[in-house]
Amino acid sequence: MSSSSQPQVYLTREGTELILNYGPKAHVAPSSRVLVVGGGVTGLTTAWALLDAGYAVTVVSEKWASLEDRITSQIAGALWEWPPAVCGKHTNLISLDNSKRWCMTTYRGLDKLMHTLPAQEHGVRMRMANFFFEQSIHKMSGQLEKMNEIAAVHDIQGFKHDPTLVKTHAVNQDAGVVDSYRHLAPVIDTDQYMGWLRSTVVAKGGKLITARINGDLLEQEDRLLAKYGAQAIVNATGLGAYETAADHSVVPLRGALVRVINDGKRFPIVKEALCVSHDDTHGAEAEDIVFIVPRNDRTLILGGLVQPHVHTLDLTIDSPEIIRMRDRCNKFVPGLENAELDPVPFVQGLRPFRDTNVRVDREQRLKSDGTHSRIIHSYGQGGSGFTLSFGCAADVLELLSELEKSPYLERASL
């Protein structure tokens, strides 16, 4: 996508919100440059927001989204979810409180994007998402609370609590589900969206550099700022923050997806997402998650694997846990066991999770000379990178504004 063909979409921060707008935007000469480290959905969404806020932006990443060598953001399930997500592990109260605010900023932004530009350009579609339960949700305090919160948010469209959805979707009785609710949610074709997002950043003047930055950013902050002519750094390195932020609370959550062709020839076309969250009564290690999502008009993804603290990517489509995962999905859709595999039938990745909470704050350690850092962190979103992307970017803008007004601000986080 060239700059001349770049659609006129831009972001503005209003209060804590990041608002997507369409139309001509007056050019403003950049006041300063920000270095963003990390080229996933968090890093590129932040870069987009920074560019529209009037900053010059350099993004440094070891890899970029491609069809030949997919990055973690492309392997994500990318179904917008009210936290905690089906395949997520965030239960920290502070993290959940922030995530509920962040996710709604993203919901409104992606909904506006879908109604502004054709889905074929960016890959975002609004689909009905159905969530099923093995017992009455009124007996599951955590899930009941989550459902009631969703029902109370006006901007979440199409909410309905209806146990008959089990029959509506012809869910196999062997699946053992008896209750359900649904609502409209953004679903992102990650290959399409990440390519569009990268093109958007470039068209707005962002500079992309393919390189790997090793080590703790704090220890090399002055050198990096000088090298890239920047006045601040945003650390969006995901799992890499174990090293770049010296944050040993960052751990991987291994996940995997089976991709099948969703053309109606071997099973009825699936047009809505079908999900089952982990039930704590089954035990922490129980494999009970179901995640079935139409990625686009042809591809259906099957997921439901969450393996904490596993660093290797050595699964195959024939691994026992993948066979069990697919079997759980098969119980939901008649004929799904006969599905034709996609040309890219299996992908796996490591979600960047943080034991405490999602981190969006200023670096709180002092530099070696005793001065305050100009690093802002945004990482640890786990399996919710897309869901939280707009909201986290809005908070980065606020933190950057605070840093510029008072570089020695004692309170380093929101």
Omega into 320 within 30° of 0, i.e. cis?
A: no
From first to last of its 414 residues, what are the pLDDT tens digits of the chain? Answer: 444 455 589 999 998 899 999 998 877 788 899 999 999 999 999 999 999 999 999 999 999 999 999 999 999 999 999 998 876 555 566 678 899 999 999 999 999 999 999 999 999 999 999 999 999 999 999 999 999 999 999 999 999 999 999 999 988 877 889 999 999 999 999 999 999 999 999 999 999 999 999 999 999 999 999 999 999 999 999 999 999 999 999 999 999 999 999 999 999 999 999 999 877 666 566 688 999 999 999 999 999 999 999 999 999 999 999 999 999 999 888 899 999 999 999 999 999 999 878 999 999 999 999 999 999 999 999 989 999 999 999 999 999 999 998 755 444 444
Q: Is 411 exposed, middle or buried (0-12, 13-18, 19+ CB in 10 A)?
A: exposed
Alpha helix (H) ranges present in 180-274?
190-203, 221-228, 241-244
Q: Say how far residue 229 (Cα) sits from the centre of its chain.
A: 29
pTM: 0.94
Letter for the amino acid at 147? M
Close Cβ partners of 211 (under 8 Å, ≥ 6 residues apart)? 60, 61, 62
Other residues' Cβ atoms within 10 Å of the Cβ of residue 200: 22
